[in-house]
Chains A and B, each alone.
Chain A
Amino acid sequence: MSSNGKDKVSFTLDGETVTVDAGETLLDACRCAGRPEVPTLCHDDRLDPYGGCRMCLVELDGAPRPVPACKTRAADGMVVRSQGEKVERVRRTMVEMLLSEHHDDVGVKPNELQRYATEFGVEAPPVRFERRDAWEDRNRFIGYNPGACILCDRCVRYCDEVMQCNALEHVGQGSTALMQPTDGKSFLDTSCELCGGCVSTCPTGALYEKQAGGLAEADCDKTRTVCTFCGVGCVIDLNTSDGKVVKVTAETGVGPNDGHLCNKGRFAFEFIHHPERLKTPLVRGEDGKLHETDWETALDRVAAGLRKVADEHGPETVGFLASSRCTNEDVYALQKLARGVLGTNNVHSCAAT
Chain B
Amino acid sequence: MTVMDLERLKGLRGCGGAGFPADFKWKAVRDEPAGAEGKVVVCNADEGEPGTFKDGWLLAERPREVIAGMLRAAAFTGADRGYLYLRPEYTRQKAAFLAEVERMVGEGLLSLGSGAVWYGAGFPGRPVVESDHGLDDIALAQLEWHVAHGSHDLEGEPTANGGLATDGKLSLLRPLPPRARPAIEPAPANGIAFRLDVCIGGGAYICGEETALLESMEGRRPQPRHKPPFPTQAGLWGLPTLMNNVETFWWAERLLSEGGADGADDVGGVPGARRLYSLSGDVQTPGVYECEVGITARELIERHGGGVKGGAEVACWIPGGAATGVLPGTLLDTPLSPDGLKAVGTALGTAAVVIYAAPREPREVAAHIMRFFAQESCSQCTPCRLGCRAFADWMDGSCTAPPADRASDWLEAMELGSICGLGFTAPLVVRQMDRWFEGAMA
| Chain A residues engaging chain B, CB cutoff 8 angstroms | 51-55, 57, 65-66, 68, 71-72, 86, 89-90, 92-94, 96-98, 100-101, 126-127, 129, 150-151, 153, 169-177
Contacts and interface: CB of A to CB of B under 8 A. Distances in A.
Interface string B376-388: 1111111101111
Given A90-B417, A93-B417, 20 more contacts: A51-B419, A52-B419, A53-B381, A54-B413, A54-B418, A90-B412, A93-B413, A100-B390, A126-B402, A127-B394, A127-B399, A127-B402, A153-B380, A169-B124, A171-B125, A173-B377, A174-B375, A174-B377, A174-B385, A174-B389
Contacts of B303: none
Interface in B396-440: 399, 402-403, 406-407, 409-410, 412-413, 415-419, 424
Contact of B416 (A90, A126, A170): A90
Nearest to A86: B416
Contact of B385 (A89, A92, A177): A177
Contacts of A151: 379, 385
14 contacts: A52-B419, A65-B415, A65-B424, A66-B417, A90-B412, A93-B413, A94-B382, A97-B410, A98-B386, A127-B393, A171-B124, A174-B378, A174-B379, A175-B374
A127 B390 contact: yes
Query: Which interface residue of A93, A98, A174, A176 has the most chain B CB atoms within 10 A?
Result: A174
B123 interface: yes
Contacts of A127: 390, 393-394, 399, 402
A156 B385 CA distance: 18
Contacts of A101: 386
A68 B390 CA distance: 23
B226 interface: yes
A100 B393 CA distance: 13
A126 B406 contact: yes
Given A54-B417, A65-B415, A71 B226 contact: yes
Given A90-B412, A93-B409, A174 B388 contact: yes
B382 to A, nearest CB: 5
B382 A53 contact: yes
B73 to A, nearest CB: 26
A88 B204 CA distance: 33
Contacts of B375: 173-176
B392 to A, nearest CB: 8
B351 interface: no
A338 B388 CA distance: 71
Contact of A100 (B381, B386, B412): B386
A61 B406 CA distance: 27
B206 A89 contact: no
Contacts of B386: 97-98, 100-101, 129
Contacts of B415: 65
A52 B382 contact: yes
A89 B206 CA distance: 28
Interface of B: 123-126, 204, 206, 221, 226, 374-383, 385-390, 393-394, 399, 402-403, 406-407, 409-410, 412-413, 415-419, 424
Contacts of A53: 381-382
A173 B410 contact: no
B2 to A, nearest CB: 34
A170 B424 CA distance: 22
Contacts of A94: 382-383, 413, 417
A36 B27 CA distance: 42
Contact of A89 (B374, B387, B412, B418): B412
Nearest to A57: B417
Closest 7 pairs (CB-CB, A-B): A126-B402, A177-B379, A93-B413, A54-B417, A97-B386, A174-B375, A126-B406
Contact of A173 (B378, B383, B393): B378
B123 A172 contact: yes
Query: Which interface residue of B124, B382, B413 has the most chain A CB atoms within 10 A?
Result: B382
B436 to A, nearest CB: 24
Query: Which interface residue of A66, A153, A177 has the most chain B CB atoms within 10 A?
Result: A177
Contacts of A96: 406, 409-410
Nearest to A72: B226
Nearest to A177: B379
A55 B221 CA distance: 23
A57 B417 CA distance: 7
A57 B419 CA distance: 11
B379 A170 contact: yes
A51 B381 CA distance: 8
A272 B123 CA distance: 45
A89 B402 CA distance: 17
Given A127-B390, A173-B379, A66 B123 contact: no
Contact of B383 (A54, A169, A176): A54
Contacts of B424: 65
Contacts of B221: 170
Contacts of A153: 380
Query: Which interface residue of B126, B385, B402 has the most chain A CB atoms within 10 A?
Result: B385
A68 B226 contact: yes
A43 B398 CA distance: 34
A97 B374 contact: no
A51 B226 contact: yes
B374 to A, nearest CB: 5
B240 to A, nearest CB: 15
Query: Which interface residue of B204, B221, B416 has the most chain A CB atoms within 10 A?
Result: B416
Contacts of A71: 226
